[in-house]
Amino acid sequence: MRKYFGTDGIRGRANGVITPELALKVGQAAGLVFLRGDHRHRVVIGKDTRLSGYMIETALVAGFTSVGMDVLLLGPMPTPAVAMLTRSMRADIGVMISASHNPFEDNGIKIFGPDGFKLSDEVEREIERLIDSNLQTKLAGSTDLGRAKRIESVHARYIEFAKRTLPRNLTLDGLRVVVDCANGAAYRVAPETLWELGAEVIAIGTEPDGFNINRDVGSTAPEALVSKVRELRADIGIALDGDADRVLVVDEKGQRVDGDQLMAVVARSWQEDQRLSKNGIVATIMSNLGLERYLGGLGLGMVRTAVGDRYVLEHMREHGYNLGGEQSGHIIMSDYATTGDGLVAALQLLSVVQRQQRPVSEVCHCFDPLPQVLKNVRYGAGGEPLRQDAVVTAIEGARQRLGEGGRLVIRPSGTEPVIRVMAEGDDRDLVVRVVDDVVEALRKVAA
């Protein structure tokens, strides 16, 4: 068990869990782990638009400079941009200050190695060990302290990177696109990228004030996007989350398209172009059984991992896949990026739409999802409801009722005290009853 790191970095209530003291120690500990060699070490730091980002950024700068690292401050930038710039700018570490799709009260610290990939469990454990050690004895001497400065050109660099993921002669001319930036990290770069590629762009969620990130906008609250697409009769709606590493699409009819359908579209396109490095993709235990059946019909396999884009990516790297992702919209295309990139995933979909000259509703309806129900149960800190006999009995009974034609997935969230209960199968009524029974057992124990 790790003390500070969860499935996606360190995350929690700003100035509660994520305090200046913790951020300072994270900067010192991570800096010490990556002080390798005699060169001048550097770290790039990006953030989303939360008010607490200023506090955490300042504390991290103090931590990194105190162990002798120079700091390059990127300002508000998507998580995948930070990962890309870590490699591009030859930094030793990349840091993203964000709690992704969480409300503004939360924040987090994501760390990338010099290769742009998220850290392994082993490296995270080493950082945790140092955080809890006496760091005072490991600080740099007075003449070896680091410096910090802001970099202004990073937005243009990321926009050019995103545009280069498309064929040189492909444009988005003729497409009316509504893009929802969740009042988050991509509020500048996403609309500019789409406009430079030729689309008619209507942008919403582009007025961050420190408090409104993900509030009634973005991939976790797509109602505003659906309404705008219908109002303007747009060809497509694109919703990013707070740090723009995931995407949700809305077709011209206002219907939502999740990550499973996006992976199906890209997998088929890449198969036709002989671009798949392996005969299949990597998804998680939450992806719909309908996706697995659809890919099987194409002669493609689907490997499932634990929930979390880091686990998808680890399997992709270990076994040579170049396409994977999550139903939630984390789409990883390792030919281009070292993490999920919502904007790049949307561009890949738009390239298929332009080539096929068909409506998004037709391109993105690859399969009929099996009925799938997901509910969350919140529990008190320190509780272990999944170990209670009543809950164990309810889960075993639910699995027996679903049989081999369905799936039941019970998992604690890695970022908040919530247990997620998901079931799917051909009989929707049965799926609903099964989930409700397990949720009821969990709520009684949690109460």
d(CA 83, CA 78): 9
**Which of the following is catalytic: 52, 66, 98, 100?**
100
Half-sphere exposure of 447 (CA within 13 A, CB side): 6
d(CA 185, CA 182): 8
* 334 marked among binding-site residues: no
d(CA 129, CA 133): 6
3-state DSSP of 269-333: HHHHCCCCCCCEEEEECCCCHHHHHHHHHCCCEEEEECCCHHHHHHHHHHHCCCEEECCCCCEEE
* 106 marked among binding-site residues: no
* 100 marked among binding-site residues: yes
* 241 marked among binding-site residues: yes
Please provide the distance, in angstroms rounded to a whole number, between the alpha carbons at the two ends of the chain: 26
Q: Any idea how long the chain is?
A: 447
Tell which residue, 171, 310, 151, 317, has the closest CA to residue 245. Answer: 310
User: Which structure tokens are listed for 349?
Assistant: 């979909």
269 has catalytic annotation:
no
Residues 6+ apart with CB under 8 A from 357: none
User: Which structure tokens are listed for 111?
Assistant: 């760390």
Residue type, 409: V
- Catalytically active residues, by annotation: 100
Binding residues: 100, 241, 243, 245
Q: Binding-site residues for Mg(2+), please?
A: 100, 241, 243, 245
